[in-house]
């Protein structure tokens, strides 16, 4: 096919769509703002729910980009995306213009900036970290306090930046409950004698094998789950963190001092997602891009030739993102075949 | 009659068939956001009154929802109406208005009269 598709964003969604299109003889130009491809999964060490080495997945995805029909352009942030006639154009700050027959938005997400929940002390107290920081620490298989001590007590707080009217995010981020279960297990494997707690409002274990992992974390690793939202964190004299919550199941207010507090940060639309959606009148709720419909139109938009894949639409896990990307490719090919 | 040593005690179950669940509608009329409460307990966690008393705002709200009014008015008296709970609520529930209006509704139901 003598047609070209522009893909904005070189994360899992962008790569998987690019490869599916390339296999069907469509030319692809994939534009990524960072120096490297793979998006947010560059920051994860092992993946839930099967503890797969994220590096293996990154390798597989990166290899797909070797297909001769795919051109990858990195270090290029698209600031402008617009149609003209039947063609789509994308521009960066240097006014470099890319042109194609269709465009795919695969600009993904950013993790919630935990500093916005000031009462939880991120960026203020040394021993408050985020789940993304945990991943970085876990690369060296060492989870330590700021003082370099092995934590004897760790707490994971769910729903930080999600399901919270105070930060304007009513939605559930989908990945953080299971991520807390995963990280609690990883911690307990490193420090079996330590205590690990997880504070939740609802444990959302709807994915395949999630409930089993949750069960295993209790049965095999003794992780303790407490139903209550933490209202605030404070520092103690010895630089530990004291948190306050209600143990709603016993209906008693509680406090607990921990060596390390991990905030399970949620998923927010990336700046690029919001900007490019807005330019094309496809901005949905909370800054995410809005698909044409929920069912068979989930990869299309109101703009002919503009398609969506992955977390630029809403929070998704990696397998969900990849499936969504392949489905986007199907719609794009259908469109290319029926348009001049 | 022979005394077998048994006595009849008040049932302890929450009986949804006989409990007064309609009183909650009166609260909702005044404070629609009460519906949104997901019982996360952040309000209770942050409340200063519960440090020194048995007061638990979330639990009072839940008990009222379930039509359990005994002793509630006395509990609610422990609230200082400071509004700290409102600051932490993830669902934007007007907690203070709930407390205020619960006292009125309970008073109308003849649980501890208050003068307004
Ligand atoms: C803490 C955390 C842990 C997670 N762990 C797991 C896990 O263990 N297992 C799992 O299945 N899922 C996990 N996920 C979810 C997973 O990260 C996502 O499903 C996946 O990254 C989504 O891919 P994407 O391509 O949609 O978006 P992204 O990964 O966000 O990629 C988007 C890409 O677009 C680029 N981009 C953005 N704007 C522009 C622009 N204007 N111009 C050019 N390029 C642009 C970005 O730089 C980025 O490379 C986790 C999520 C979080 C928050
Ligand atoms: S997945 Fe769990 S932690 Fe994340 S927002 Fe949803 S309920 Fe909260
Ligand atoms: S903080 Fe809000 S949602 Fe949570 S229990 Fe209190 S009133 Fe309900
Ligand atoms: S308003 Fe009442 S319930 Fe809320 S924090 Fe203050 S004392 Fe506690």
Interface ipTM: 0.91
- State which of A267, A283, A301 marks the end of a domain: A267
Residue B1 has pLDDT above 70, yes or no: no
- For the CA of B52, the nearest ligand: 4
Q: In this structure, are A331 and A249 located in the same domain?
A: no
DSSP 3-state percent helix, strand, coil across chain B (nearest 5) = 45, 0, 55
For chains A and B, CB pairs below 8 A equal 68
Tell the burial category of B7 from Cβ atoms under 10 Å away from its Cβ (0-12, 13-18, 19+). Answer: exposed
- Mean pLDDT for back-to-back runs of 10 residues, chain A (340 residues): 96 98 98 98 98 98 98 98 97 93 98 98 98 98 98 98 98 98 98 98 97 98 98 98 98 97 98 98 98 97 98 98 98 95
Residue B2 has pLDDT above 80, yes or no: no
Q: In this structure, are A258 and A204 located in the same domain?
A: yes
Counting ligand 1 atoms within 8 A of each CB, the residue from A8, A160, A318 with the most, and so the one to mutate, is A318
Q: In this structure, are A127 and A219 located in the same domain?
A: yes
Does A230 sit within 8 Å of B89, measured CB to CB? Answer: no
Kindly compute the dihedral angle of the four CA atoms of residues A217, A177, A241, B54, in this order, to the nearest 10 degrees. Answer: -90
- State which of A217, A237, A267 marks the end of a domain: A267
d(CA A109, CA A80): 18
Separation of B114 CA from ligand 2 center, angstroms?
42
pLDDT tens digit sequence for B63-98 = 999 999 999 999 999 999 999 999 999 999 999 999
Please report the pLDDT score of residue A286 as a whole number: 98
Q: In this structure, are A190 and A230 located in the same domain?
A: yes
Q: Which domain holds residue A155?
A: 114-267
- State which of A210, A240, A267 marks the end of a domain: A267
- In chain A, the number of structural domains is 2
**Global confidence as pTM:** 0.96
Mutate to test the interface with A, among B44, B47, B72, B86 (most CBs of A within 10 A): B44
Angstrom distances, CA of residue A180 to CA of A31, A186, A206, A224, B4: 32, 10, 14, 12, 56
Helices (H), A195-288: 210-219, 271-279
Does A119 sit within 8 Å of B45, measured CB to CB? Answer: no
- Sign of dihedral through CA atoms A319, A325, A329, A334? positive
Q: In this structure, are A170 and A309 located in the same domain?
A: no
Q: In this structure, are A131 and A102 located in the same domain?
A: no
Q: In this structure, are A289 and A201 located in the same domain?
A: no
* A244 vs B contacts (CB less than 8 Å): 45-46
Domains and CATH numbers, chain B: 22-108 (1.10.1060.10)
Pick the closest to residue A318 from A34, A28, A82, A109 (CA basis).
A109
Please report the pLDDT score of residue B116 as a whole number: 61
Residue A195 exposure: Cα atoms within 13 Å on the Cβ side: 10
Judged by CB atoms within 8 Å, which residues 26-85 of B form the interface with A?
38-47, 50-51, 56, 58-59
Q: In this structure, are A227 and A162 located in the same domain?
A: yes
- For the CA of B84, the nearest ligand: 4
d(CA B33, CA B23): 16
Residue B7 has pLDDT above 90, yes or no: no
Q: In this structure, are A188 and A52 located in the same domain?
A: no
Taking residue B70's Cβ as centre, other Cβ atoms within 10 Å add up to 8
Q: In this structure, are A198 and A221 located in the same domain?
A: yes
Q: In this structure, are A197 and A123 located in the same domain?
A: yes
Q: Looking at chain B, which residue has its C-alpha nearest residue A245?
A: B45
In CATH, what number is assigned to the domain containing residue A73?
3.50.50.60
Counting ligand 3 atoms within 8 A of each CB, the residue from B31, B39, B100 with the most, and so the one to mutate, is B39
* B90 vs A contacts (CB less than 8 Å): 159, 163-166, 201, 229
d(CA A73, CA A90): 13
Q: Categorize the per-residue pLDDT at B12 as very low, low, confident or very high, splitting at 50, 70 and 90.
A: confident
Q: Which residue's alpha carbon is nearest to atom 48 within ligand 1?
A: A39
SS3 A44: coil
Mutate to test the interface with B, among A117, A229, A251 (most CBs of B within 10 A): A229
Averaged over B12-17, what is the pLDDT?
89
Which of B38, B44, B92 shows the shortest C-beta gap to A246?
B44
* A249 vs B contacts (CB less than 8 Å): none
Q: Looking at chain A, which residue has its C-alpha nearest residue B48?
A: A253
Q: In this structure, are A162 and A48 located in the same domain?
A: no
Mutate to test the interface with B, among A164, A234, A246, A247 (most CBs of B within 10 A): A246
């Amino acid at each position: 096919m003598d047609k070209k598709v522009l893909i904005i964003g070189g994360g899992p969604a962008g790569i998987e769509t690019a490869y599916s299109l390339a296999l069907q003889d469509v030319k692809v130009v994939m534009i990524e703002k960072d120096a490297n491809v793979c998006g947010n999964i560059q920051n994860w060490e092992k993946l839930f729910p099967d503890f797969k080495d994220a590096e293996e997945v990154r390798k597989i995805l990166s290899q797909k980009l070797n297909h001769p029909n795919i051109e990858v352009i990195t270090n290029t942030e698209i600031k402008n995306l617009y149609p003209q006639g039947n063609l789509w154009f994308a521009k960066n700050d240097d006014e470099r213009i890319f042109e194609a027959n269709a465009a795919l938005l695969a600009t993904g997400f950013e993790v919630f900036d935990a500093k916005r929940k000031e009462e939880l002390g991120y960026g203020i107290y040394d021993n408050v970290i985020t789940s993304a920081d945990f991943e970085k620490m876990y690369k060296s298989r060492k989870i330590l306090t700021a003082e370099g001590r092995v934590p004897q007590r760790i707490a994971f707080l769910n729903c930080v930046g999600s399901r919270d009217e105070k930060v304007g995010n009513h939605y559930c981020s989908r990945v953080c409950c299971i991520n807390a279960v995963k990280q609690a297990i990883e911690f307990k494997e490193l420090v079996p004698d330590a205590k690990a707690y997880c504070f939740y409002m609802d444990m959302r274990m709807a994915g395949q094998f999630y409930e089993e992992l949750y069960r295993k974390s209790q049965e095999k690793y003794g992780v303790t789950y407490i139903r209550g939202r933490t209202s605030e964190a404070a520092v103690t004299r010895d630089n530990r963190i004291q948190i306050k919550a209600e143990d709603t199941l016993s209906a008693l207010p509680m406090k607990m001092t921990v060596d390390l507090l991990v905030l399970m940060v949620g998923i927010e639309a990336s700046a690029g997602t919001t900007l490019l959606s807005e330019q094309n009148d496809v901005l949905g709720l909370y800054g995410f891009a809005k698909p044409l419909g929920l069912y068979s139109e989930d990869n299309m938009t109101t703009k002919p030739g503009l398609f969506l894949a992955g977390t630029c639409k809403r929070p998704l896990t990696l397998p969900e993102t990849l499936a969504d990307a392949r489905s986007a490719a199907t719609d794009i090919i259908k469109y290319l075949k029926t348009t001049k | 009659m022979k005394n077998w040593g048994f006595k009849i005690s008040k049932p302890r179950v929450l009986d949804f068939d006989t409990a007064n669940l309609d009183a909650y509608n009166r609260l909702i009329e005044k404070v629609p956001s009460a519906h949104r409460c997901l019982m996360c307990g952040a309000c209770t966690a942050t409340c200063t009154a519960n440090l020194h008393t048995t007061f638990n705002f979330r639990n009072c709200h839940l008990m009222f929802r379930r039509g359990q009014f005994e002793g509630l008015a006395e509990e609610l008296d422990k609230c200082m109406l400071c509004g700290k709970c409102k600051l932490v609520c993830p669902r934007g529930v007007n907690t203070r208005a709930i407390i205020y209006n619960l006292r009125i509704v309970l008073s109308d139901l003849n649980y501890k009269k208050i003068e307004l």
